[in-house]
Amino acid sequence: MTLTQPPLPDENRILQAKYNLTAWFYDLLDYPWERLYRRWRPQYLGDVRGEVLEAGVGTGRNLAHYHPSVHLTAVDLSPAMLRKARGRAAKAACRVDFVTDDVTRMDGVAENRYDWLVSTFLCCVMPDALQPLALSQFRRVLKPGGRFRILEILYSKNPRIRRRQEHLARFVEKVYGARFDRSTLHFLEESPCLRITRTTYLKDDTYLLIDGVCVK
């Protein structure tokens, strides 16, 4: 289902316009990285069950890896990205509902509904000023005891890797709106209701997987 929302704030309106354009060639641009990511997806989605919300589903690369028992609500800001995701839904073993929505407010999503919230490279796209708003929505839609899993990318402390990231940084921000210096981990650590239970690097010290639980 697609829900009509009130006008977006300026930052998200800009992001929506960027991804409505980028959607046309997103998968092609992302292919070099997807060769790595596709090895991880079965690993970090393998234990996800029940009512699940994926925040920032993008073009739907995760859809084929959810367990058949999952009922997935796939949320994205960009209608064009969701059209790509719908094309992949045929390969999903689970039931998928699509919602066009802004994760900083998720007006069309019920509270206390979800057993899991999954997010893959969403917060690195989101300006730090908006991240507490998104995290408050994550808390709102999760059931008490619901779990979250967030995969993000950070600047490395390894000088060689850091130089490579700095070389790519301008391109990554221009095309994807993403940055390597977002404060997602800090905001989660400061959240009174989203408690981190584990952090794991999937590669080097750049790809950070954050697991946690909603304790409201």
| Residue 3 reports pLDDT greater than 80 | no
Cα separation values, 122 from 118, 158, 194, Å: 10, 24, 17
pLDDT digits (tens, 9 = 90+) for 88-126: 999 999 999 999 999 999 998 999 999 999 999 999 999
Identity of the amino acid at 83: R
Confidence at 13, pLDDT banded by 50, 70, 90: confident
pLDDT-based confidence at residue 6 (cuts at 50, 70, 90): low
Q: Please state which CATH class domain 10-214 belongs to.
A: alpha beta
Say which residues have a Cβ less than 8 Å from residue 17's Cβ, sequence separation at least 6.
none
pLDDT tens-digit map of 25-40 = 999 999 999 999 999 9
The whole-number pLDDT of residue 127 equals 92
Instruction: Report the C-alpha gap between 130 and 135 in whole angstroms.
Output: 9
- Average of per-residue pLDDT across 128-153: 97
> What pLDDT was estimated at residue 12?
82
